């Protein structure tokens, strides 16, 4: 038996919602699991770059039992008292690795949904989301990868994930600016403080609430006010040279609603109202060029659909 699952890329945090907010993008990884007789360890993992993602370096991605997809699948098998064996895992990637676009969440989610199908669906969505979040360490990429759209997630103390899908105004567009270097999430989390000043926590609390209200009311000015952060982006600026300049340079640019770091970075998402694309791109390119960084651009809508089985 063979199962393939297509899973979208994601952008987590979205400014004030560190480890809580996330959205899906129409860029996909496809995870295929096949039960087949294999030599050696009984596990084979192949990772293939899809068209348009040839620049992604796959050399450092583990293809043994330390691979995160395998680890996620193993937890699901353990959940029903089994161990994976004679399993071929193939991952076709469109999502650049270590750029903040949820590549790891997408393959974890894809691997789990595919394994659950192979096993005859022993786990419900709640269990799958909980295993996926345990492997990933936070739920903000996992939920939109599973469900699509824009989501608010909370990883509860009992290990479950409580989430809500939020509305999105289709007049708001995303420009994803992807720099030509990778940033490992672990490194990007290591620069965050263990404790933050109360006033910074309150700053984000207010903005997270405003963010949700702005989505429900399609209120662009409120969203503009909501899209800033004091919990993670300021600490990560040193790992993403040029980010604060880009934010500053775009602040008063016509059409721009806000600039946020994508997940742990280094990609940046500009939320704008569909106008002035050329000027926005030029400002980002020029600012990053000044910092010796080249960038690629993707103008994308939000992907409303989450992970799906494609055969
Ligand atoms: N919320 C996570 C972080 C996302 O910012 O570290 C990582 O992709």
Q: Which of 229, 239, 228 is nearest to 291 (CA)?
A: 239
Strand 2-12 versus strand 21-35 pairing type: antiparallel
Give the span between the Cα atoms of 266 and 180, in whole angstroms.
9
Ligand 1 centre to CA of 42 (Å) is 33
Strand, helix or coil at 119? coil
Q: Whose CA is nearest to atom 1 of ligand 1?
A: 19
Which protein residue has the closest C-alpha to ligand 1 atom 4? 263
pLDDT at 63: 79
- Whether the bond between 15 and the residue before it is cis, its omega within 30 degrees of 0, is no
Q: Under 8 Å CB-to-CB from 220, ≥6 apart: which residues?
A: 169, 172, 214, 257, 273
Q: How far is the CA of 102 from the centre of ligand 1 (A)?
A: 9
Tokens encoding 121: 């669906």
Centre of ligand 1 from the C-alpha of residue 263, in Å? 4
**Ligand 1 pocket residues where CB is under 6 Å:** 12-13, 18-19, 100, 138, 140-141, 185, 188-189, 232, 263-264
258-297: b or e for each residue (b if 16 or more CB lie within 10 Å)? bbbbbbbbbbbbbbbeeeeeeebbebbbebbeeeebebee
Question: Dihedrals φ, ψ of 309, to 5°?
Answer: -80, 130
Q: Rounded CA gap, 35 and 48, in Å?
A: 19
Q: How far apart are CA 131 and CA 136, in angstroms?
A: 9
Mutate to test the pocket of ligand 1, among 138, 233, 237 (most ligand atoms within 8 A of CB): 138
Question: What is residue 55's predicted lDDT score, i.e. its pLDDT?
Answer: 63
This prediction has a pTM of: 0.94
Confidence (pLDDT) at 296: 93
Give the integer Cα–Cα distance in Å for 306 and 129. 13
Residues 257-287: pLDDT tens digits?
Answer: 999 999 999 999 999 998 999 999 999 999 9
Please write the tens of the pLDDT for every residue from 19-66. 999 999 999 999 999 988 777 778 889 898 876 665 667 777 777 788
Cα gap 121→291, rounded to integer Å:
50
End-to-end CA distance of the chain: 11
Residue minimizing CA distance to atom 3 of ligand 1: 264
Residue among 68, 182, 232 whose CB has most ligand 1 atoms within 8 A, to mutate: 232
Task: Enumerate residue ranges in the chain where pLDDT < 50.
Answer: none
């Amino acid at each position: 038996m063979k199962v393939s699952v297509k899973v979208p890329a994601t952008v987590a945090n979205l400014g004030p919602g560190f480890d809580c907010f996330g959205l899906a993008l129409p860029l996909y990884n496809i995870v295929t699991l096949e039960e087949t007789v294999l030599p050696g360890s009984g596990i084979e993992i192949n990772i293939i770059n899809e068209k348009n993602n040839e620049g992604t370096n796959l050399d450092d991605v583990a293809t043994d039992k330390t691979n995160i997809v395998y680890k996620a699948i193993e937890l699901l098998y353990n959940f029903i008292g089994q161990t994976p064996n004679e399993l071929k895992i193939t991952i076709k990637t469109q999502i650049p690795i270590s750029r903040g676009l949820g590549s790891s969440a997408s393959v974890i989610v894809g691997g789990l949904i595919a394994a659950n199908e192979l096993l005859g669906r022993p786990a419900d969505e709640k269990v799958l989301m909980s295993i996926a979040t345990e492997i990933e360490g936070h739920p903000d990429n996992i939920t939109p990868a599973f469900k699509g759209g824009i989501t608010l997630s909370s990883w509860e103390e009992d290990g479950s994930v409580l989430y809500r899908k939020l509305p999105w105004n289709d007049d708001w567009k995303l420009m994803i600016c992807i720099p030509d270097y990778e940033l490992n999430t672990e490194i990007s989390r290591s620069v965050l403080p263990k404790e933050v000043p109360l006033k910074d926590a309150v700053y984000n609390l207010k903005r997270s609430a405003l963010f949700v209200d702005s989505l429900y009311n399609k209120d662009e000015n409120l969203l503009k006010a909501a899209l800033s952060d004091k919990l993670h982006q300021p600490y990560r600026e040193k790992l993403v040279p040029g980010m604060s300049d880009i934010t500053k340079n775009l602040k008063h640019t016509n059409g721009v609603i806000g600039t946020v770091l994508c997940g742990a970075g280094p990609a940046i998402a500009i939320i704008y109202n569909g106008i002035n694309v050329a000027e926005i791109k030029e400002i980002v390119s020029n600012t990053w060029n000044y910092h010796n960084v080249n960038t690629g651009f993707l103008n994308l809508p939000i992907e409303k659909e989450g992970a799906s089985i494609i055969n």
